[in-house]
Amino acid sequence: MTTKTEIQFAYWVPNVSGGLVVSNIEQRTNWSYEYNVSLAQAAEKNGFSYALTQIRFTAGYGAENQHESVSFSQALLAKTENLRVIAAILPGPWKPALAAKQLATIDYISNGRIAINVVSGWFKGEFDAIGEEWPEHDERYVRSEEFIRSIKGIWTQDQFSFDGKYYQFKDYTLKPKPIQQPHIEVFQGGTSRAARDMASRVSDWYFANGNTVDGIKAQIDDLRSKAKANNHQVKVGINAFIIARDTEEEAKAVLEEIIAKANVEAVQAFDDATRQAGAASPEGEGNWAKSTFDDLVQYNDGFKTNLIGTPQQIAERIVALKNVGVDLILSGFLHFIEEVEYFGEKVLPLVRELEQQQEKKLA
Ligand SMILES: Cc1cc2nc3c(=O)[nH]c(=O)nc-3n(C[C@H](O)[C@H](O)[C@H](O)COP(=O)(O)O)c2cc1C
């Protein structure tokens, strides 16, 4: 039996080296294609609906090697049956016409399983290295919003025209259109006001960095009230680094070891780079603006969500997140394949049980 609105699960594809924590702790996770195929197949068997690839053009902060996101996503789709793969795309290097065309083809080949994550950029050094201009924080969102309006227009309309600051189209007709209707799903991340404002107008999904239940509730309330005013619907995913162990002590000990073995130099360099991102937003409240050293050991504040403990504790906390409006948990793990399997066997059944109990009570 399934409930009407089951919370969904995604995982971060380790397509860059170094795993999801900037730490010298042993990580039985590998960025190779072979490892990632086994992981994707394990994930779809264990209740994960989505996989999110990352886009990075240069090394730094523990990610020495990086496979490109769109080609890697397509390769994972070829080896899976149900998993939906979200390819990260950066406006700047990608232009909307190319992205729309490339993704429509992948949608066709994968029978409607590709999605995209439009990232606005946080790493100035990377943009400088590849010769891309670096607009100021809020201006990056002006460009991303035009990018999303453009690709959605191309996917849904014939003779699409658009006259923006960054992109212009005149009577463009894409054929074939994507299989997914009304269009391929568009995800977008960020914590700043500009990120939320854009999501409330044009994104299908908003990804938040890790946060407490109260913290994410405040973000969701703001996001959904703005979306309502715009007559737009947006779903929410939250990042969480999950450490599920048979006992709470074991799980906490793993967290302590990750932090104790942090790669201090890399975390500090990451901290400096993030000043170009969230802290650079006019309100100073974007991604990482309030992150401590310990928080930054996980790239997207994933410890803050506190899915660290026994399967029962984690399942209860997931349902608490669902109850404030979270639709999806974006998860990272230390030893990906084995922990995805543990999650599917031990945690997921408890989440579904709690959801059913809750639904019965409300009925
Ligand atoms: C879940 C999630 C995934 C992201 N993936 C990437 C990525 O693959 N590559 C990248 O350069 N930035 C990525 N970002 C960064 C965002 O696109 C954005 O630039 C950053 O969160 C700064 O947002 P803010 O200053 O508006 O809060 C990601 C952010 C989130 C929350």
Q: How far is the CA of 275 from the centre of ligand 1 (A)?
A: 13
Number of neighbouring beta carbons within 10 Å of residue 47: 18
CATH code of 8-357, in short, is 3.20.20.30
Query: What is the pLDDT, as a whole number, of residue 278?
Result: 54
Q: How far is the CA of 345 from the centre of ligand 1 (A)?
A: 30
Q: Are 146 and 165 in contact (CB under 8 A)?
A: yes
What are the boundaries of each domain within the chain? 8-357
Query: What is the pLDDT, as a whole number, of residue 1?
Result: 44
Q: How far is the CA of 287 from the centre of ligand 1 (A)?
A: 8
- From atom 23 of ligand 1, which residue's Cα is the shortest distance away? 190
Query: What is the pLDDT, as a whole number, of residue 331?
Result: 98
- From atom 9 of ligand 1, which residue's Cα is the shortest distance away? 55
Query: What is the pLDDT, as a whole number, of residue 328?
Result: 98
Query: What is the pLDDT, as a whole number, of residue 165?
Result: 98
> How would you write the pLDDT of the chain (363 residues) with one tens digit per residue?
445 689 999 999 999 999 999 999 999 999 999 999 999 999 999 999 999 999 999 987 778 899 999 999 999 999 999 999 999 999 999 999 999 999 999 999 999 999 999 999 888 889 999 999 999 999 999 999 999 999 999 999 999 999 999 999 999 999 999 999 999 999 999 988 999 999 999 999 999 999 999 999 999 999 999 999 999 999 999 999 999 999 999 999 999 999 999 988 888 887 777 765 655 667 766 666 778 888 988 989 999 999 999 999 999 999 999 999 999 999 999 999 999 999 999 999 999 999 999 999 988
Query: Is the shortest distance between the CB of 119 and ligand 1 below 6 Å?
Result: yes
Query: Is the shortest distance between the CB of 300 and ligand 1 below 6 Å?
Result: yes
Taking the CA of residue 287 as reference, the ligand 1 atom at the shortest distance is 27
Q: How far is the CA of 8 from the centre of ligand 1 (A)?
A: 20
Nearest to 302 by CA among 313, 291, 316, 315: 291
- Which residues fall within 8 angstroms of residue 64, CB to CB, at 6 or more apart? 17, 18
Characterize 334-356 residue by residue with b for buried, 16 or more Cβ atoms within 10 angstroms of its Cβ, and e for exposed. bebbebbebbbebbbebbbebbe
d(CA 118, CA 93): 12
- From atom 8 of ligand 1, which residue's Cα is the shortest distance away? 54
Query: What is the pLDDT, as a whole number, of residue 277?
Result: 61
Q: What is the pTM of this model?
A: 0.95
- Which residues fall within 8 angstroms of residue 351, CB to CB, at 6 or more apart? 7, 315, 318, 319
Query: Is the shortest distance between the CB of 191 and ligand 1 below 6 Å?
Result: yes
